[in-house]
Amino acid sequence: ASTAVAYKRVMLKISGEALMGDQGYGLHPPTVQRIAREVQSVHSLGVEICMVIGGGNIFRGLQGSAQGMERTTADYMGMLATVMNALAMQAALESLGIFTRVISAIPMDQVCEPYIRRRAVRHLEKKRVCIFAAGTGNPYFTTDTAATLRANEMACQAIFKGTKVDGVYDKDPSKFADAKRYDTVTYDEVLQQHLGVMDASAIALARDNDLPIIVFSLDEPGGFRGILRGEGTYTRVH
């Protein structure tokens, strides 16, 4: 079988919750390791990989502000949570022999690199996996928006959004047996029908820059590699 892939550079977006396994909170090292192996398998195809990992397994800004904390403070805590997840993923990838850089939107030089666009591009050219941490560096945004922003800046050909299900459905497939998966759906349909792929600002940013979003299941072993080679089921938002 040919190993040819249509993609040269991609963004993989996963939520923080994808790293917590069956626990209700935090990091589950075997799960982090499993996802790192999925990334390794795509890296071995020669694809340049950007990653953005959420922070919801540790802290979410909205949660904090609901408990009376100032929203901006809570959001900064959420951004810091994404740095912890990025470091965990970096450690897992490097244990597999993959050179990785964590690049933070909020400079913290002792911990990781600050974001400098041209430097990040150079890392990608050298086949280092770049994990973009601390979201956009601004409160009131999400890591979905950060993933879309960095994907545009890095000229990725698509965002691969790894979720628990193999695409976008018209209703929650875990609740409705007759939920229907879309093969493709437009950005505007996602926005108008509130299809919950990503938040509205992320969808709009992808739309305005013609950046396709591919929603696929991260639970399927080999799923990420398969999708990149055009196999398996997924939804393409375009």
Kindly state whether residue 56 participates in binding ligand UDP, applying the rule CB under 6 A. Answer: yes
Can you tell me the distance from the alpha carbon of 16 to that of 190, in angstroms, rounded to the nearest whole number? 22
Give the residue among 136, 154, 145 at the shortest CA–CA distance from 47: 154
235 binds ligand UDP per the rule CB under 6 A: no
DSSP string, 60-115: -HHHHHHTT--HHHHHHHHHHHHHHHHHHHHHHHHHTT--EEEEESS--TTTSEEP
In the complex, minimum distance from the CB of residue 80 to ligand UDP, in angstroms, rounded to a whole number: 8
Residue number, 26 or 222, with CB nearest to ligand UDP: 26
Residue 55 assigned ligand-binding role: yes
Ligand-binding site membership of 138 (annotated): yes
Does position 167 bind ligand UDP by CB under 6 A?
A: no
Rounded to 5 degrees, φ, ψ at 221 are -60, 135
- SS3 call for 211: coil
Q: Does 163 bind ligand UDP (CB under 6 A)?
A: no
Window 116 to 135, contacts with ligand UDP (CB under 6 A)? 135
Q: Which strand (E) or helix (H) includes residue 119?
A: helix 117-125
Any binding-site annotation on 31?
A: no
Are residues 233 and 181 in contact, defined by beta-carbon separation less than 8 angstroms? yes
Q: Do you know the residue count of the chain?
A: 238
Tokens of 231: 């196999």
> Tokens at residue 81, please?
């949570």
Segment 168 to 227, residues that bind ligand UDP, using CB under 6 A: none
Using alpha carbons, select from 36, 52, 160 the residue that is nearest to residue 105. Answer: 52
* Member of 48, 51, 55, 225 binding ligand UDP (CB under 6 A): 55
Q: Is 30 annotated to bind ligand?
A: no
- Which residue, 141 or 187, is less far from ligand UDP as judged by CB? 141
Which residues within the stretch 2-41 sit at the binding site for ligand UDP (CB under 6 A)? 15-17
> How many CB atoms are closer than 10 A to CB 6?
10
Q: Assess 75 for contact with ligand UDP (CB under 6 A).
A: yes
Binding flag, residue 78, ligand UDP (CB under 6 A): yes
Which one, 135 or 167, has the nearer CB to ligand UDP?
135
Residue 140 assigned ligand-binding role: yes
Among 31, 90, 100, 142, binds ligand UDP (CB under 6 A): 142
Q: Tell me the binding residues for UMP.
A: 55, 75, 136-143
Which residues sit at the interface with ligand UDP, rule CB under 6 A? 15-17, 54-56, 60-62, 74-75, 78-79, 81-82, 135-136, 138-139, 141-146
